[in-house]
């Protein structure tokens, strides 16, 4: 049980890091994109603290949103969005199911 809790906590760290990356992207984005990135960062932060954590479907929707935002982002923000996507994918590897 302790191992599962530790793995869960470490996995949740990936969501917090994704949230932080999106906040950095928001600082480098246009006002409208910055607002959308901040909202997504807030969502990830909230999901990281909830029990149970997000499922594959919720995470897939977040990835889709980020890919859409990435297409319209300026180059300074893209690297941070890619970092967030990588963290979400890392977290998804720890989620049971699909």
Look up the domain containing 21 and give its range: 2-92
Q: Helices (DSSP H) in 1-98: which residue ranges?
A: 2-28, 31-49, 56-71, 75-92
Write the CB contacts of 1 (distance below 8 Å, at least 6 apart in sequence).
none
Whole-model pTM: value is 0.86
Residues in the chain: 98
Q: Please tell me the predicted confidence (pLDDT) of residue 8.
A: 56
The domain tally of the chain equals 1
Write out pLDDT tens, residues 4-19. 333 456 568 999 999 9
Q: Please tell me the predicted confidence (pLDDT) of residue 85.
A: 98
Write out pLDDT tens, residues 51-65. 888 999 999 999 999
Within-domain flag for 24 = yes
Within-domain flag for 88 = yes
On the question of pLDDT at 35 being above 90, the answer is yes
Within-domain flag for 97 = no
């Amino acid at each position: 049980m302790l191992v599962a809790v530790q793995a869960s906590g470490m996995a949740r760290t990936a969501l917090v890091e994704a949230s932080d990356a999106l906040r950095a992207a928001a600082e480098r984005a246009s006002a409208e994109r910055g607002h959308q990135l901040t909202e997504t960062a807030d969502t990830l932060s909230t999901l990281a603290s909830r029990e149970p954590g997000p499922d594959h479907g919720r995470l897939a929707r977040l990835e889709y949103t980020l890919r859409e935002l990435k297409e319209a982002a300026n180059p300074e923000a893209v690297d941070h969005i890619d970092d967030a996507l990588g963290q979400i994918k890392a977290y998804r590897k720890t989620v049971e199911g699909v």
